[in-house]
Structure 1
């Protein structure tokens, strides 16, 4: 569906480089024929934490995420609240994310943030939580709970770690999730419009205009308001919606269609300053 941002892999590599890597060249050569075999060793999970941690890093390097996760989890379980445990917990979050175990990654990341809110990797942990929600966003015909969760998690990255390297991508993910929420409103609004349930349709389109004015759904939302109000005979609101649409998107096909619709009734776009649409239009200009 969506490609993992390179910033995730870069950060994982940076975290990994903080520790001394164990030598794995010989073992790698002997294990390439068995994709399920731990490339370090079938060691007891009671090995020293630094050994387990480095084995986890070696497994990540070899693409053995399941084994890596097992090593990091062993460190966390056997040496709680140690520095090795802290580093293992964030790496465990990363491996679970990479394996597509998003619920586990979210739980692991949130636990990390609760235990180590001021650590050097807290921004990364929060970002991984956001990515795990983002990966679960479905198309607009389905429930959009993950979009809401993505916005909440990524906003914490933006607000809590404004100087981190994850802010730009976090903002991009927020925009995507907001587009999804606006798209869901439009999908429901069109459903009502097709059934001539105009008030219900207008309520949905209004939500898009007022709550999601900078999303990619705004042009259609204004055009659908023209359509719904025109069908109801509320011509001033139809004219205002068309005027706001034309003022902000004069070259839009949605505006051209709205203009033609008004002409059928001998009308043209004209803004009523007292309309909620006119007020929303001023906010639209600010947000664009």
Structure 2
């Protein structure tokens, strides 16, 4: 017994020390005992200082400790904003969708929809800077469509929202970007000898986005493609419409097929 007891007590003491060490991080949590209001206030302060990772951490603690009430609901939306500003669009969109699903009647729903559109719109801006370095036929303009749909829903549901005006302006840009995509794909097909596909894409552009300036290019593409196909009647019809609506057009003189065409959605 003289040999066993000391070892037993040593093992017990070691276990106590290990448990104490494991508990230390929780004991040192500065937010322990903070109210929901305190957590929210501190998280907003970190957000204002652009410490988005810290802000997210505090908002997540708030939501975990106080899952019910206005602060928890708002925390979901604030987390989405932090992730958007921290250049984490996938996480931001997931957080927004969770907020929309969980709080369908929330008074900030118009802002949630606006933020959703803004996150995807930011990706469109990234597309704009690299558009001419990417094969447009391989790029799905999902971000443009998602952004447009979020802004459209915002305006339809909350026409008096403070965000409606900006959303409408961004929608105009997005329509141009989507029309631009169709024109680039048509051009891609034409330059590879897929003339029927090019003509059909130009026609689709005109039918889908009839109020954009890219219609001129769509008509021009139809004229050029039908000419290559030997479809003289369709070529002449497209050319007549082109010249009637754009008498000073230059799309048939090679401009349409340049490496850096003049079309821009903005």
Tell me, yes or no, whether TM beats 0.5: yes
Deviation at 1:42, TM superposition (A): 6.4
Distance (Å, rounded) in 2 between the aligned partners of 1:45 and 1:152: 42
Unmatched tracts of structure 1, length 5 or more: 1-40, 259-288
Aligned to 2:227: 230
Scaled by the length of structure 2, the TM-score of the pair is: 0.74
Deviation at 1:143, TM superposition (A): 2.9
- Report matched runs for 1:39-58 at 5 Å: 43-44=30-31, 46-58=33-45
Deviation at 1:123, TM superposition (A): 0.4
Tell whether the 8 Å contact from 2:148 to 2:174 is kept in structure 1 after alignment. Answer: yes
Aligned to 1:244: 241
Aligned to 2:109: 122
Report 1 or 2 for greater relative contact order, CA contacts < 8 Å, sequence distance ≥ 6. 2
Aligned to 1:275: none
- Report matched runs for 1:29-108 at 5 Å: 43-44=30-31, 46-108=33-95
1:194 aligns with 2:181: no
Provide, for residues 112-168 of structure 1, a one-character-per-residue CA deviation record: whole Å limited to 9, x for no partner.
112222222110011111111122233363332212211222211121111112222
Distance (Å, rounded) in 1 between the aligned partners of 2:238 and 2:65: 63
Distance (Å, rounded) in 2 between the aligned partners of 1:113 and 1:221: 38
Larger Rg: 2
Tell whether the 8 Å contact from 2:31 to 2:39 is kept in structure 1 after alignment. Answer: no
Aligned length: 217
Tell whether the 8 Å contact from 1:45 to 1:71 is kept in structure 2 after alignment. Answer: no
Distance (Å, rounded) in 2 between the aligned partners of 1:108 and 1:192: 39
Q: Do the aligned partners of residues 85 and 186 (structure 1) sit closer, same or farther apart at CA in structure 2, a change above 3 Å counting? A: same
Aligned to 1:16: none
Deviation at 1:50, TM superposition (A): 0.3
Distance (Å, rounded) in 1 between the aligned partners of 2:200 and 2:45: 55
Scaled by the length of structure 1, the TM-score of the pair is: 0.69
Distance (Å, rounded) in 2 between the aligned partners of 1:50 and 1:101: 26
1:144 aligns with 2:167: no
Alpha-carbon RMSD: 2.2
Distance (Å, rounded) in 1 between the aligned partners of 2:33 and 2:197: 62
- Matched residue SS, 1:155: helix
- Larger helix proportion of the pair: 2
1:167 aligns with 2:164: yes
2:250 to 243, 250, 253: 253
Deviation at 1:45, TM superposition (A): 5.1
Q: Do the aligned partners of residues 46 and 213 (structure 1) sit closer, same or farther apart at CA in structure 2, a change above 3 Å counting? A: farther
Provide, for residues 205-245 of structure 1, a one-character-per-residue CA deviation record: whole Å limited to 9, x for no partner.
11111112223421111111111122223223222222222
- Matched residue SS, 1:111: helix
Aligned to 2:118: 131
Provide, for residues 70-108 of structure 1, a one-character-per-residue CA deviation record: whole Å limited to 9, x for no partner.
111211222113111122222222111111111111111
